[in-house]
């Protein structure tokens, strides 16, 4: 998306000891924290509006209990999220396992 206004400030001195990747990673985490905060506030607004409109009873979300099918679906969603978010750690661990296996003469190791 093209912005009308400039988006990158002129002159960003490097911070000693911080790599470019450090800076990029930090900026992405801050942006994600911002997005989650906005999303959480929007959910809160929806919940309050639904209670005000008498669509939901107060506390309905907190007292909600999924049935077995819904629970299974939600378990799957959670596993999917974990695998997606922590994929780099799993890959790094597998690479270390491979390296260790190579160093020790190809002993059988399973990740």
Partner 1 sequence: MSGIAESRAALAHPMIAVPTHDELVEQLFVRDLKLFVGQTLEPAQQKIAAQIAPAIAASGSNSPVDDLRLRMQSFESFTTWLSLKRESQRQLWAAVEDCVERQADQLEALAAVDAPKGTLTLDPDFVAPDYITRGDIHLMPGGNAHDDGSVLQGAVMDRGGAVYMLGRNGGMLNDLRGHTAMAHLLTVAPDINPGRILDMGCGIGTSTVPAAACFPEAEVHGIDVGASMLRYAHARAEHLGAAIHFSQQSAERTTFPDASFDVVYSCVVLHETSPEAAINILAESRRLLRPGGIAIHLEVPLLHTLGDIWQELSSELEAQFNNEPNWRGALTADYGQLMRAAGFTEIRTGYQATAFNGRSALRKFGDTSDGVFRSWFVTSGRA
What is the pattern of x (binds partner 1, CB under 8 A) and - over residues 4-33? xxxxxxxxxx-xxxx---xx--xx--xx-x
Pick out residues in 48-77 that bind partner 1 (CB under 8 A). Answer: none
Residues in CB range of 56: below 8 A, 6 or more apart? 47, 50
Residue 105 binds partner 1, judged by CB under 8 A: no
Cβ atoms within 10 A of the Cβ of 47, count? 16
Task: Say if residues 93 and 84 touch (Cβ distance below 8 Å).
Answer: no
Residue 84 binds partner 1, judged by CB under 8 A: no
Q: At what angle do helices 87-103 and 68-85 cross, to 10 degrees?
A: 60
Rank residues 34 and 83 by Cβ distance to partner 1 and give the closer one: 34
Contact set with partner 1 (CB under 8 A):
3-13, 15-18, 22-23, 26-27, 30-31, 33-34, 37-38, 41-42, 45
């Amino acid at each position: 998306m093209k912005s009308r206004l400039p988006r990158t400030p002129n002159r960003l001195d490097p911070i000693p000891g911080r790599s470019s990747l450090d800076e990029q990673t930090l900026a992405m985490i801050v942006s994600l924290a911002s997005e989650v905060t906005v999303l959480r506030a929007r959910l809160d607004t929806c919940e309050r509006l639904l209670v005000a409109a008498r669509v939901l009873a107060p506390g309905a979300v907190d007292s909600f209990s999924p049935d077995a099918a819904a629970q299974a679906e939600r378990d799957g969603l959670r596993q999917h999220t974990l695998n997606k978010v922590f994929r780099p750690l799993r890959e790094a661990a597998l690479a270390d396992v491979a390296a260790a296996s190579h160093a020790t003469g190809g002993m059988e190791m399973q990740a």
